[in-house]
């Protein structure tokens, strides 16, 4: 995954001008990210009815919803979060987040910078791809 890394002379960024990419193979999240000295921030898109497999990572994360709604399970708590809502994921907490079926979602992500980048560890090691709500799975050709 390529992310733009902040340099001493670069202090201003336009997410829409940065190259977009997929975040990991276990989610449908894609978008642009900037890596600073201690945090990674990103403008993330998640197609409707899709998202991440249950996973965890050894760093905390915040997702601020800009457009659409995310259905999030963090630990034992599940909620649907719309524009203006903030999801906090503590370090090492099992979580899964999917866009609701109505529309694609855009959210602002903040994660601690680690050697893992934006990746997490799937709860099920046999998982090979993203999570899809029923009826939103990719069509097989």
Using one digit for the tens of pLDDT, what is the confidence trace for 25-40?
677 777 888 888 888 8
Please state, in angstroms and rounded to a whole number, the distance separating the CA atoms of residues 69 and 115: 30
Helix (H, G, I), strand (E, B) or coil at 96: strand
pLDDT in tens, 46-90: 999 998 889 888 889 999 999 999 999 999 999 999 999 999 999
CATH superfamily, domain at 18-115? Jelly Rolls (2.60.120.10)
CB contact at 8 A, 27 and 130: yes
Q: How much is the mean pLDDT over the chain?
A: 84
């Amino acid at each position: 995954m390529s992310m733009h890394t902040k340099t001493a002379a670069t202090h201003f960024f336009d997410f829409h001008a940065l190259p977009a990419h997929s975040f990991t193979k276990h989610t449908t999240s894609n978008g642009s990210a900037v890596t600073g000295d201690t945090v990674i921030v990103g403008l993330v898109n998640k197609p409707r009815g899709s998202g991440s497999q249950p996973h965890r990572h050894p760093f905390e994360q915040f997702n601020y919803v800009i457009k659409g709604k995310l259905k999030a399970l963090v630990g034992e708590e599940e909620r649907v979060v719309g524009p203006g809502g903030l999801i906090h994921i503590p370090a090492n907490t099992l979580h899964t987040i999917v866009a609701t079926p109505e529309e694609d979602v855009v959210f602002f992500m903040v994660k601690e910078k680690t050697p893992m980048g934006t990746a997490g560890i799937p709860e099920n090691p046999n998982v090979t791809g993203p999570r899809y709500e029923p009826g939103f799975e990719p069509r097989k050709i």
